[in-house]
Structure 1
């Protein structure tokens, strides 16, 4: 099984607004790092090589990708230049009160649709973590349990 992830956010400004330049001007670079990262399988993208044209729910921007395992995704998010943009996300995205990220297992070769991904997020929001939809906390707990089993 591979792991799919969806995260959403509400842009504070139109993507053409100069206040979004720090985000928009680096999308290609950050996406290229993802694609070269160990464990990367696939990401949703349009003709512009990114997902800024896709929306779900109440005009929420999306990032949807598939990785061989959660550790590979974690390494990309927190151990590459991506983390610099993650730390500055409040400059470009509104604060969200509901869950904005979800992970779930997919069969190797399966590329989830945006509708499928958004349904997983809504399920996680309404029902909490399960084997069908979970978040970073559950992934980290699984890593700790796996490490303990191997020790």
Structure 2
């Protein structure tokens, strides 16, 4: 990977119930542990936090109060993939349908950012919309179809 770029990712979920409900309890109880594992993971660079706890549950995506957002930046697609499918995160990934509705549209988008740049929620909305409208491109792609970073 190019030393001048890092991998940004956004993942959204439409909650089945309010965050303080019994339905979401296990998800919320595990959030600190999953985020700590991300923070300690090889290749982790940054994640979006809202200042109201350990996660970013206070941000809204597409103006929808039932959508929550996870955003982070990683050194490479490989390090991001290792975390996502690793032992700390995989159990929560496997239980996602308990907490989040199945959405027919893409819920995760990846894109390259210049090293040191931190994406905003608005940036993420734009990239996910691009992926939904155009499919994977160099501007917004998936873990299944990764594009190389821009040329130096």
Q: Is TM more than 0.5 here?
A: yes
Q: What do you get for the CA RMSD once the two structures are aligned?
A: 1.2
TM normalised by structure 1 equals 0.90
Q: CA deviation at 1:55?
A: 1.1
Moved beyond 6 Å, runs of 4+ = none
Residue matched to 1:91: 98
Match of 2:87 among 80, 85, 88: 80
Unaligned runs of 5+ in 1: 143-151
Q: CA deviation at 1:15?
A: 0.4
- Give matches, 1:108-127, under 5 Å: 108-127=115-134
1:49 aligns with 2:54: yes
TM normalised by structure 2 equals 0.90
- Give matches, 1:62-77, under 5 Å: 62-77=69-84
Residue-pair matches, total: 141
1:100 aligns with 2:107: yes
